[in-house]
Amino acid sequence: MEKFIVQGGNRLSGTISPSGNKNAVLPILAATLLTDKTVTLENVPRIKDVEAMLQLLESIGSQVAWEGDDCLTVKTDLPSGGTVKMAERFAGEIRASILFAGPLIARGKSVYFPPPGGDVIGRRRLDTHFYALESLGATVQTDKRGFTLKAGKLKGTTIFLDEPSVTATENAIMASLFAQGGVVIRNAASEPHVQDLIRFLNHLGASISGIGSNMLTVKAVEALQGGHWRIIGDHIEVGSFISLAAVTGGEITIKNAGVQYLHMIRYYFSKLGISMEFRGSDVFVPGNQQLVIENDHFGEVPTIYDAPWPGFPTDLTSIAVVTATQAAGTVLIFEKMFNGRLFFVDKLSAMGARIVLCDPHRVVVAGVSKLYGTELVSPDIRAGMALLIASLCAEGESIIHNIGQIDRGYLLLERRLGKLGARIERVVD
């Protein structure tokens, strides 16, 4: 086990670029199973979740090779007959292991899954995945040890998802590619990473329309080809860097930030008093900002809440909580999507934050709070990043344990943030 030792109170400044989008590369890696040709991917972050996906690919016959720091090739020859069994050792580490369901079903394979792992941020149901796959003609058998999906003759249909789940949408898309008659997916998720997956599939020869909307039309094709694709930048990482700049008083430029995906992030961060400028494809965060929460009309306490795209991303809710502790005023933060994401706030309270946990979905934050370094444990990816941000703006030293959670979603933070002036040391716990 490793930990971070963080010295807080430094003003971070300089230029940084986001790494490849974690939530885009994971489904795209799964989608390489849809072709027996070679696929080359660029801007792939070497984070733990990516390594787990690559190990799963290799366990079912894929040949994976890194061609550089962020470039890799994948070529898969699926085994003939039988049931593909996902390796429990790796599937249990990562929620995205469920993304192998759609491609394998599309290729006519049955597949056994142990329960997928991932962040413990509340109940994360799989029913929407199962409904989508059953609508296409697959059968699902579940028990306490896992589940088996059996591919039948997939047929065209209209699928209305009961919730706009990102991974269920991605599975439905991939499973639909070769379904006779074509498929319409309604109430689909439309996040930037879903859009990147669709563009990647179209690049390989798929025919999917409706990108960025909640209705997708998938026309059947005979096969996909190989190709070369560059993963988009991570807008969640960009949001994290914006927060980090603001709470430390730093002046930071974020290069190639994907500003087309930042409008709702910019709006809600402005409610917390953060000013930023879009300069072409870059984001500039001015230094020494005095953060003041903007009340609603008539002086009402404002609310920040997450929602499916194009709403405020749930993966930035933890970051918004930390940011609010450093802004003058009071704000209600409403996490609608997961009932365990906000439980990390007791750790911020231990640092000196004034936070009331109203229920599993809502916290009231009153700022400005002076934070003090302490010993912390990272419970999940996003809470881990939030605690790192808190530690960097706190007075004194913090120790963050279980940083493997942070490493699952963020690339080499101690090196990249160190170039901005952060004092973060990675040591063996």
Catalytic sites, residue numbers:
119
DSSP 254-305: ETT--GGG-HHHHHHHHHTT---EEETTEEEE-SS---B--PPGGGPPPEEE
Beta bridge partners of 365: 331, 355
Q: How far apart are CA 176 and CA 319, in angstroms?
A: 36
Using DSSP, state whether 329 is helix, strand or coil: strand
Distance of CA 358 to the CA centre of its chain: 26
CB half-sphere exposure, 147, CA atoms < 13 A: 17
- Cα distances from 403 to residues 4, 343, 351, 383, 424, in angstroms, run 7, 17, 18, 11, 12
DSSP 395: B
Cβ(284)–Cβ(290) below 8 Å:
no
Amino acid identity for residue 154 in this structure:
L
CA dihedral 351, 352, 358, 361 (to 10 degrees): -40
DSSP H helix total and E strand total for the chain:
14, 24
Q: Which of 377, 376, 349, 351 is nearest to 364 (CA)?
A: 349
- Cα distances from 6 to residues 319, 336, 396, 400, 418, in angstroms, run 18, 31, 8, 8, 11
User: Which residues are within 8 A (CB) of 396 and not within 5 positions of it... i.e. 6 or more apart?
Assistant: 7, 8, 9, 372, 373
Cβ(358)–Cβ(368) below 8 Å:
no
Cis check: omega of the bond before 44, within 30 degrees of 0: no
